[in-house]
Amino acid sequence: MDTKIEKQYKVAQERYAAAGVDTDKVLSVLKSIPISVNCWQGDDVSGFESDTAALAGGGIMVTGGYPGKPRNIDELRKDTQKAFSMIPGKKKLALHAMYGDFKGKFEGRDKIEIKHFESWVDWAKTNKAGLDFNPTLFSHPYARDGYTLASTNEKIRKFWVEHINRSREIGDYMGGSLKQVCSNNIWIPDGSKDTTVNRLKHREKLLKSLDEIFSKKYSDKNIQDSLEPKLFGIGVESYTAGSLEFYLGYAVKNGLQITLDAGHFHPTELVSDKITAVLPFVKGVQLHVTRSVRWDSDHIPILTEELVAIMQEIVRAKALNKVFIGTDYFDASINRIGAWVIGARSVIKALMIALLEPTDAIRKYEEEKNYFARLAMLEELKFMPCGDIWNYYCETEGMARDSQMVAAVMDYEKEVLSKRA
């Protein structure tokens, strides 16, 4: 332990103690909360269905071509492990179905099996990580007309139903094998670029598909399903079948979770306000942390007021057992490992700041209608030495501090990434 870091922590600890916060307890809680880190930041949402990586499409767009992109599953895993070595605390890896270990024998998304993900489970065990899962309903010929589960073409609709059925079976296997629940998140790109007259017909098809999919039940200990709504997507600006209203209604009726993605709403809407609005009605919330710039651009999360507000809402509601925190972003214009680490660490920092809040004291002021004191305390917290708590946490976890992170990432680029074609 760096003695300077330890001394700074002790001073910060005393300041927080004066406000009624036990920093040791905060770090203990922080360490226990799993953060689900998305694998697709590592390879630009390409996957391993063929030797020639597919380009993202169907509502997904990745910009940039920074050197050193992983070319196969082994290189992606190596990069993931490097990123994990700089992300403190408990971690999970979120996979898409297109990231199976197909060994050059990919037969189709409607034919994926448990065997294609056995090596991922072995990897997770070795790296003491959990796994989450996502069916992949984009970048495919059967998604080109804009509809998958909501398609009026029965061949296409049934193809995607089968894909999700197999994905849920795989998620159940992952959760059971790792003894840690696998969050299975379902997002579809279905919608229209321009005016759609027959919206109801497509939504009736989507309803039929979901009913068929969820007719099979799995143990909550292994897998929990969530529906991810969206306001609009690339090429479906005018109409999205899987809107918040549609999925929220279905989730409430059928005991499912709802996914709230920070980039999937109107720019003036705040996910931080939506969390406790839906919590009383749904089984749980899957949180996708991203940073939208004017639209759902999936920029790297940074420590914004909204990110802190999201975590504060979860902590203040004592909902850490019902809100499952994950990341969803991809930027190929900078070092991919660096992007991974900055985004995930920003999420954890925001969560730490929320946990360091003396919520009970602030709530007491609120109940007394002493709004001046409430505001004053919230403002005072902005100048508290949370950075010293963070540095100490990184030290105790054996992780690079922020001041050391750049060198660690650039060394890996020099030693590994620069040698890739």
Q: What is the pLDDT of residues 284-326, one digit of tens each?
A: 999 999 999 988 999 999 999 999 999 999 999 999 999 999 9
Q: What is the pLDDT of residues 34-50, one digit of tens each?
A: 999 999 999 999 999 98
- Asked if the model's pLDDT at residue 421 lies above 80, the reply is no
> pLDDT averaged over the chain?
96
pLDDT score at 54 = 55
What phi-psi label fits residue 266: left (phi over 0), alpha (psi between -120 and 50 degrees) or beta? beta
Amino acid at 49: E
φ and ψ of 90, to 5 deg = -80, 135
* Identified catalytic residue from 163, 230, 274, 349: 230
Report domain extents, the chain.
32-357
Helix (H) or strand (E) run with residue 95 in it: strand 91-96
Can 120 be counted among the known catalytic residues? no
* Identified catalytic residue from 92, 202, 264, 274: 264
Can 296 be counted among the known catalytic residues? yes
Can 172 be counted among the known catalytic residues? no
Contacts by 198-204 with C-beta closer than 8 Å and gap 24+?
Answer: 199/239, 199/241, 201/152, 202/147, 202/150, 202/151, 202/152, 202/241, 203/150, 203/241, 203/246
The topology under which CATH files domain 32-357 is TIM Barrel (3.20.20)
Only one residue has tokens 């925190």, namely 325
* Identified catalytic residue from 172, 298, 313, 388: 298
Q: Average pLDDT, stretch 250-276?
A: 97
Are residues 222 and 182 in contact, defined by beta-carbon separation less than 8 angstroms?
yes
* Identified catalytic residue from 261, 313, 331, 413: 261
- Asked if the model's pLDDT at residue 55 lies above 70, the reply is no
pLDDT score at 48 = 95
* Identified catalytic residue from 228, 313, 357, 413: 228
* Identified catalytic residue from 296, 313, 331, 388: 296
Question: Is the sign of the CA dihedral 344, 346, 349, 353 positive or negative?
Answer: negative
Can 298 be counted among the known catalytic residues? yes
Q: What is the pLDDT of residues 357-408, one digit of tens each?
A: 999 999 999 999 999 999 999 999 999 999 999 999 999 999 999 999 999 9
Can 187 be counted among the known catalytic residues? yes
* Identified catalytic residue from 69, 288, 313, 413: 288
pLDDT score at 277 = 98
Q: Average pLDDT, stretch 331-348?
A: 98
* Identified catalytic residue from 120, 160, 187, 340: 187
Q: Average pLDDT, stretch 142-150?
A: 95
Can 264 be counted among the known catalytic residues? yes
Can 163 be counted among the known catalytic residues? no
* Identified catalytic residue from 328, 331, 357, 413: 328
Q: What is the pLDDT of residues 83-112, one digit of tens each?
A: 999 999 999 999 999 999 999 999 999 999
Per the confidence metrics, is the pTM higher than 0.95? yes
pLDDT score at 374 = 98
Helices 336-355, 23-32: crossing angle, 10 deg rounding: 130
Can 40 be counted among the known catalytic residues? no
- Asked if the model's pLDDT at residue 63 lies above 90, the reply is no
Can 288 be counted among the known catalytic residues? yes
